């Protein structure tokens, strides 16, 4: 009866021993947040400002900066020069490839031209003008095709001997020709855009021996 009166009066029911344990467990699981603490100061990782320039160190720093600038400028100029050289070398190689693409073909066709020329000479020697004209026409067509490709004939009769384009197979005394001049072309030469495909095989004149001292050059033999 006393407990019912207390409940009716609005009082809280008496706590039981088990209730204290439940409250304790609730206190552990719902612990109040810790009191607010002052935030830790942020660490400034930015570089420290440079100290005021030392007037005495300025000339040295300026000289170092100028040296680094000159080094960078020199490296840039070297790189530019190397790039220009590479570009010019590539252009030159492409031009040579274009100019000398038919060099091997021309070298292979030259024996055919030689045969045509010999056939023309033989036909004319045998008075076979009709056959000579037919072979000569074929020779002109073939020679014209090579000429369009940049192949030029080297026929240096009467010209001074040039070892860059001529191959001397003999030297013959010749009083009527300048010493060192080509007096006979045994085989014509050919060049492709001034590059030798085949050197001309030639005979070169040399001066006759000088007369013996005290003896006129054209003296008549003494009568016996």
Residue 3 placed within a domain: no
Residue 164 placed within a domain: yes
Lowest average pLDDT, out of 89-98, 143-152, 155-164, 203-212, goes to 89-98
Residue 169 placed within a domain: yes
Q: How many domains does the chain have?
A: 1
Residue 97 placed within a domain: no
Residue 1, token pair as written in the block: 């009866």
Q: pLDDT tens across 173-182, in order?
A: 988 889 999 9
Residue 198 placed within a domain: yes
Residue 74 placed within a domain: no
Share of the chain above pLDDT 90, in %: 22
Q: pLDDT tens across 9-19, in order?
A: 444 444 445 45
Output the pTM of the full model.
0.52
Residue 183 placed within a domain: yes
Residue 159 placed within a domain: yes
Q: pLDDT tens across 105-160, in order?
A: 888 889 889 988 888 888 888 887 888 888 888 888 888 888 888 899 999 999 99
**Domain hosting residue 194, numbered range:** 151-210
CATH number at residue 186: 2.30.22.10
């Amino acid at each position: 009866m006393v407990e019912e009166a207390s409940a009716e009066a609005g009082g809280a029911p008496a706590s039981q021993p088990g209730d204290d344990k439940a409250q304790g467990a609730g206190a552990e699981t719902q612990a109040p947040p810790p009191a607010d603490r002052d935030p830790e100061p942020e660490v400034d990782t930015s570089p420290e400002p440079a100290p005021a320039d030392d007037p005495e160190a300025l000339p040295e720093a300026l000289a170092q900066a100028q040296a680094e600038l000159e080094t960078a400028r020199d490296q840039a100029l070297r790189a530019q020069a190397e790039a220009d050289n590479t570009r010019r070398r590539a252009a030159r190689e492409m031009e040579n490839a274009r100019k000398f693409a038919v060099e091997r073909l021309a070298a292979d066709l030259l024996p055919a031209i030689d045969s045509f020329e010999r056939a023309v000479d033989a036909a004319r020697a045998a008075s076979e003008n009709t056959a000579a004209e037919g072979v000569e026409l074929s020779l002109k067509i073939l020679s014209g095709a090579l000429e369009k490709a940049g192949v030029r004939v080297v026929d240096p009769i009467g010209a001074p001997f040039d070892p860059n384009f001529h191959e001397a197979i003999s030297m013959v005394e010749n009083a009527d020709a300048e010493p060192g001049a080509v007096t006979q072309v045994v085989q014509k030469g050919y060049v492709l855009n001034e590059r030798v495909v085949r050197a001309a095989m030639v005979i070169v004149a040399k001066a006759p021996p000088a007369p013996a001292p005290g003896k006129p050059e054209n003296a008549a033999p003494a009568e016996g």
